[in-house]
Structure 1
Amino acid sequence: MLQRNANHEHNMSGASSNLTDRMNSPAHESTRQFVAQSGAAIFTLDGERGSAKSQLCAQMSDGRMNCTEIALEAKSLFSTMQSLNFFCTLPQDPSKTHINCQRIPSA
């Protein structure tokens, strides 16, 4: 019981840790590698509220979607994508739950 409480407290403090610590996490590195390997400019991310994992999909040039599961809540994945120079928005249709992320062209 004490171990479980200690883990819960650790998770709570991890959620409030600074951005630099979060960006060095294995899940952030997985996201960075997936984005770099796909070479895509448009991604979608989706995750159930409260879930510790999300789906990240790259839209390939031929229209196919290449997806992977990332061990981050959707809001953390959203922040990670922004840190990788993506502009992320909700779709126009309110019934859709995914978030669209488009690479910001470098000057």
Structure 2
Amino acid sequence: MPAQKPEDVLNAFVSEDPQSKYAFNSARDAPESELCREGDKLSRKCIMIHMQSTRLFQAMQDQGFFCALPMDPKRTEITCQPIPKA
């Protein structure tokens, strides 16, 4: 069975809860990133996705999310929240 395309994995994960906030983190130029659906400790869910952070940033924006670095310079994850539909 062929491996799923990273875009399909991302779409499936986000479609489970498209109104949640998401965060991702990876080492610079790493071939994969950890993507987490934010929530309390019990509802937080993370997956590893085979996308560099720049590609994942673009893919999340393409799905209607606003993504940004946190205000705290010590933190490196990028957070994404859904853009309200007008």
> Which sections of structure 2, spanning at least 5 residues, go unmatched?
none
Separation in structure 1 between the aligned mates of residue 51 and residue 84 of structure 2, nearest angstrom? 25
Between Structure 1 and Structure 2, how many residues are aligned? 81
For the pair shown, the structure with the greater C-alpha radius of gyration is: 1
TM-score, with structure 2 as normaliser: 0.87
State the 1:40 CA deviation: 4.3
Q: Following superposition of structure 1 onto structure 2, how do residues 1-107 of structure 1 map, counting pairs within 5 Å?
A: 26-60=5-39, 63-64=40-41, 65-107=44-86
Does the 8 Å contact 1:53/1:72 carry over to 2?
A: yes
Cα RMSD after superposing both structures: 1.4
Normalising by structure 1, report the TM-score: 0.71
Deviations 1:27-74 (A, max 9, x none): 0111111001134420001111111000000013xx132000010001
Q: Percent identity?
A: 32
Runs of 4+ in 1 over 6 A off after TM superposition: none
Higher relative contact order (CA 8 A, sep 6+): 2
Q: Mind listing any 5+ residue stretches in structure 1 that lack a counterpart?
A: 1-24
More helix per residue: 1
Q: What is the letter of the counterpart of residue 95 of structure 1?
A: K
